Structure 1
Amino acid sequence: MNSIERNINDLASDDGVVRDRARKALVAAQGHEVVHALIAELVDPRKRVRWEAAKALADIGSPVAALPLVHAMTDEDDEVAWLAAEGVASLGEPGLLAVFSGITRDCHSLEYCKVAHHSLKEFRKIGNHVEVIDKVKKALEGVEPKLSAPIAAYRALQELKLDMAAK
């Protein structure tokens, strides 16, 4: 068993110090293999492992993790979902594209709408694309976010892609 596998296994430890050490070692190692191993752990049946994987992916900041973190925003555990929402915000534009895309597909529950709103608040703190973000946030805050947010997110996605292409 190599060090990546050992650290991934340690994310399930009952000992918080062992989990923390393992997560920090994975973050320090970074790299393609680590990111993909952590992405696989986002669907582990144990909440603790999913949380640790989301935290490590957020700390690594690889754009490859954007869509998997958006998917983790649908996690049945609120702590994992909210951590994924914050983690994807740390990825900048690739994360924002992924969140808008996720809203177009996954806004079927009010709980997901709340998590997506939380993520957009985190993006807004960064200060880029504020006007586009605010349009989607407003839709998520409206009377029927499950209906209005996907449309607003689709429009925002198109606007953001145009902005990025113009640069």
Structure 2
Amino acid sequence: MKTHEISLAIKQLASDDGVVREKARNALVAAESRDVTEALIAELVDYRHQVRWEAAKALSQIGDPIAALPLVHAMDDDDHDVAWVAAEGVAEMGEVGLQAVLSGLSHSSRSGSFYKVAHHALKEIRKHGKHRDVVAKVMATLEGVEPRLSAPIAAYEALQELRGNGSPANGPAH
């Protein structure tokens, strides 16, 4: 897909016609190039919720690991539908998605709705079976009384464990 074709398809994501938006999204997904991924990432902050939703959906379908952190940021979107689509996209990215969610959770300045969406992403990641114990610990903090205080610490420790650095509470991993 050429640059002008990408630009046109991106513009079509703002169409009032759902069929036009879906065709544009499908064309962008089919192209699967780094230029497409970067253009879609830029649209995650568009002022129109439907453009953000289409961008999150397309990025989720493409599955390029460079979109993991931008999708985690989109999980904090004011529009719940955008946040939910972003969470599902990150969950499909496996290990990269898990690390991105944990990284996002390790920053304590998130909205309350972010924690609910992050819980959904982790639940979807857990279904894939890998790192179930690590995911379960973090999910427990998200289900607890004060996730804004406990989740960032649990997420940080989980990241350390995944990276093989051990966690401060458990010592080095062997």
Same fold (TM over 0.5): yes
- Select which of 135, 138, 141 maps to 1:136: 138
Whichever of the two has the greater Rg, that structure is: 2
Match of 2:170 in 1: none
The residue aligned with 1:23 is 25
**Residue 106 to residue 71, structure 1, CA distance change in 2 (3 Å):** farther
Quick one: distance in 1 between partners of 2:16 and 2:133?
44
1:122-161 paired onto structure 2 within 5 Å: 122-161=124-163
Gaps of 5+ in 1: none
C-alpha separation in 2, matches of 1:111 and 1:12: 25
* Counterparts of 1:107 and 1:114, CA distance in 2: 14
Unaligned stretches of 5+ in structure 2?
166-172
Q: Following the alignment from structure 1 to structure 2, what is the Cα–Cα distance between the partners of residues 158 and 92? A: 17
CA distance in 1, matches of 2:144, 2:85: 24
Q: Check whether the contact 2:76–2:110 (CA below 8 A) recurs between aligned residues.
A: no
- Number of residue equivalences: 164
Structure 2 counterpart of 1:93: 95
Structure 2 counterpart of 1:43, which letter?
Answer: V
TM-score, L = length of structure 2? 0.91
Q: Structure 1 runs of 4+ off > 3 angstroms?
A: none
Separation in structure 2 between the aligned mates of residue 54 and residue 108 of structure 1, nearest angstrom? 19
Map residues 52-63 of structure 1 onto 2, 5 A cutoff.
Answer: 52-63=54-65
Give 1:112 shift.
1.1
| Secondary structure of the structure 1 residue equivalent to 2:106 | helix
Q: 1:67 is matched by which residue type in structure 2?
A: L
Instruction: Give a deviation string over 1:41-83, Cα, whole Å, max 9, x none.
Output: 0000000000000000000000000000000011000000111
TM-score (norm 1): 0.95
Q: Do the aligned partners of 1:107 and 1:150 also contact (CA within 8 Å) in 2? A: no
8 A contact 2:108–2:149 mirrored in 1: no
- Distance in structure 1 (CA, Å) of the matches to 2:54 and 2:102: 24
Q: Cα distance, 1:108 vs. partner?
A: 3.4
Q: CA deviation at 1:106?
A: 4.6
Quickly say closer, same or farther: Cα 1:8–1:106, change in 2 above 3 A.
farther
Percent identical across equivalent pairs? 63
**C-alpha distance in 2 between matches for 1:101 and 1:35:** 21
What corresponds to 1:74 in structure 2?
76
- Secondary structure of the residue that 2:164 maps to in structure 1? helix
Partner of 2:9: 7
Between Structure 1 and Structure 2, the one with more helix by share is: 1
CA distance in 1, matches of 2:66, 2:87: 15
SS at match of 1:6: helix
- CA separation in 2, counterparts of 1:62 and 1:109? 26
